[in-house]
Amino acid sequence: MINSSSDSVKKLNSINRRMFITGSLKFFIMMGLISRLFFLQVKENKKYLTLSDKNRIREWKLAPVRGEIYDYFGNVIAGNFEAYQLHVIPEQVEDFRYVIYRLKDLLELSDKSFKKVLKKKNEIKPWETLIVSDNLSWENFSKINNHLYDLNGVKPVISISRNYPFKENFTHVIGYVSQANENDIENNEIIKKNFVPGLKVGKTGLEKSLEQQLIGSNDIERYEVNAYGRRISQLEFQKGQKGESLRLTIDTEIQKLANVLLKDQAGSICVMDIYSGSIIAMHSSPSFDPNLFVFGISKDDWQLIRNDPMKPLVNKTLQGNYSPGSTIKPIVALSALENGIINTNFTVKCTGKTELYGQTYHCWKKKGHGFVSLRNAMKQSCDTYFYEIARKLGVDKLSETAKKFGLGDKVFDKLFDIEKKGLVPNTQWKKNALGKGWLLGETIITGIGQGYIQTTPIQLCLMTAQIANGGYKIYPKIIVDDKNKDQPDDKFTPLYENPENIRIVQDAMFGSTNEVMGTSYRSRISDPKYQFAGKTGTAQVKKITERDRELDLKTFQIPYEERDHALYIAYGPYKHPRYAVSVIVEHGGNGSTTAAPMAKKLFKSIIDRHELRVSINNKRYMDI
């Protein structure tokens, strides 16, 4: 009995001990749960409320609205339109395979297009946006919206895209936009700040140079979603700022005419106001349609442009380095006059060639021009005369005058990063660049615009404008500044020592165009309203051999790539000058037959539109 009672007590104590331990454990677990709940709901309340809101509230950035670009008369030359896009974020799609095949059926995508989408998907991170299409038709955009209940993670987006209504006419001035790449984002803070999938940014021309002003800022939309990520309601809409709109100095009608005149030819036409420096036209040919690049150019179109032997991708106005040929002669004459090397009575006998230290330098006219003065030498473009005055002048003095008038330096400073400086050589340049001394023969050929000297078409236009305005410095511009009047400035810096020397050169250029035996006489206009003065130029692209001289082939008989470049510079109207023109036609033969007739057509249109331009200018400043 005693043993039985003792066993019962032991069992009871064991049970009580277990119950105590179990009860204690339950107590501590309960306290832990209560503590944790208190911590989550009170201490961490703000944190988890924010996380909850992030799951419930979504933010969506829209592409900024780019500023438009207008011509001088208010015509839109780079505008915007609504583009319908389709975005998918792979990690937000429960069954990507189902969704993507559903989209293929709805949009009726070709196998080629579908493979491109799949390839893009494999190239991006799961959380990055996959752009299935950046230019849907309205029909397909509506179709997608009607089937969104079945397309979880798919986002139809209305975006703003670029349009160039005048197509190839402004390509080398405005440039074009295309989808931003990694380099664009990394190298430009404002692009990085405003980046959204499918953002279009400037790739060339003013679109690229003026990205900061044009891009604008994002619209931001905040909305509430349900547990499935579908939109319930819009909570907030923050309006972004549209990019700055710009007005250019260019006249679309003159720009279009330049394009027509250079059709099927490689070259450049520039037109400039000789007082304000406003660019009226600046066309490089051949060109291409910039709209092809906005949504990504096709391989076929790209190959056609890239492989064109006339190089449409090159902006010949700013990037083309050409020997100026005889268009340099007004500057050679002016430099000789300014330095007292010659006067108007100085004459040279031209026999068709000049012998110097065993080297023969030919004039373009085989039998020579006989005795010629400065005016006749300019009128008939006598090479022998300019050989002689270049020899007497020296390349260093010639270089100084040429640089004063805009050669050998960028015309637009930093506005176009592709612009070339050209080259106006002197003795120090050759020593530094080539490690050799300057030769007298190099001075002689520099006097007719051959040899090392290289100029761009826009430089030749500036040079001509500054001769035309009486020899005063101007600063070319292509963007209208409403704060400053687009009209002549009274505070010009003279580029001459004696104004009479400028008048002598102007008169010689008049004779070259308007008098019998002048090299551009056939392109003259007798009506004083349109009458202009100019100088032809022919720039060799290969050395002319004795055999070439004997054959004396016509331009059409010479292989295209071996033909000389044709150049022409001019200003008008002669009595009251206002506009300067430069024309370059690559492999065009000679300036008198190819380039000068283009200038004739240009001046008629330019001068006819002058009063309209003046009236627009006056109205603008009355409104300010």
Q: Which amino acid is at 120?
A: K
Q: Quick one: tokens of 307?
A: 């492989």
Residues 547 and 523 in one domain: yes
Domain boundary among 186, 221, 247: 247
Residues 404 and 265 in one domain: yes
Confidence band for 240, pLDDT divided at 50, 70 and 90:
confident
Residues 591 and 503 in one domain: yes
Least confident of 11-25, 78-92, 489-503: 11-25
- Residue 13 falls within a domain, yes or no? no
Question: Which domain CATH number covers 111?
Answer: 3.90.1310.10
Residues 196, 221 contacting (CB under 8 angstroms): no
Confidence band for 482, pLDDT divided at 50, 70 and 90:
low
Residues 439 and 571 in one domain: yes
Please give the C-alpha separations between residue 120 and each of 6, 89, 157, 293, in angstroms, as whole numbers. Answer: 83, 12, 19, 18
Residues 232 and 264 in one domain: no
Residues 288 and 186 in one domain: no
Residues 521 and 550 in one domain: yes
Least confident of 60-74, 146-160, 577-591: 146-160
The number of domains in the chain is: 2
Helix, strand, coil percentages, rounded to 5, for the chain:
45, 20, 35
Average pLDDT over residues 104-117: 79
Q: Quick one: tokens of 596?
A: 């000068």
- Residue 40 falls within a domain, yes or no? no
Question: Which domain CATH number covers 604?
Answer: 3.40.710.10
- Residue 95 falls within a domain, yes or no? yes
Neighbour count for residue 478 (Cβ, 10 Å): 20
Which has the closest alpha carbon to 606: 265, 277, 252? 252
Confidence band for 487, pLDDT divided at 50, 70 and 90:
very low
Confidence band for 620, pLDDT divided at 50, 70 and 90:
low
- Residue 466 falls within a domain, yes or no? yes
- Residue 7 falls within a domain, yes or no? no
Gap between the Cα atoms of 283 and 257, Å rounded:
10
- Residue 608 falls within a domain, yes or no? yes
- pLDDT surpassing 90 at residue 435: yes
pLDDT reported for residue 542? 63
- pLDDT surpassing 70 at residue 255: yes
Average pLDDT over residues 115-121: 78
- pLDDT surpassing 90 at residue 150: no
Domain boundary among 198, 221, 247: 247
Please give the C-alpha separations between residue 566 and each of 32, 139, 151, 329, 539, in angstroms, as whole numbers. Answer: 93, 52, 62, 15, 7
- Mean of per-residue pLDDT scores for the chain: 86
- Residue 52 falls within a domain, yes or no? no
- Residue 9 falls within a domain, yes or no? no
Residues 267 and 227 in one domain: no
Q: Domain range for residue 89?
A: 58-247
Domain boundary among 230, 247, 264: 247
Residues 325 and 202 in one domain: no
Which has the closest alpha carbon to 476: 455, 494, 493, 459? 459
pLDDT tens figures, 53-99:
455 666 677 788 999 999 999 999 999 988 887 888 777 777 778 87
pLDDT tens figures, 213-226:
999 888 787 766 66
44 compared with 244, residue with greater pLDDT: 244
Residues 350 and 219 in one domain: no
Residues 521 and 544 in one domain: yes
Residues 266 and 392 in one domain: yes
- pLDDT surpassing 70 at residue 6: no
pLDDT tens figures, 390-433:
999 999 999 999 999 999 999 999 999 999 999 999 999 999 99
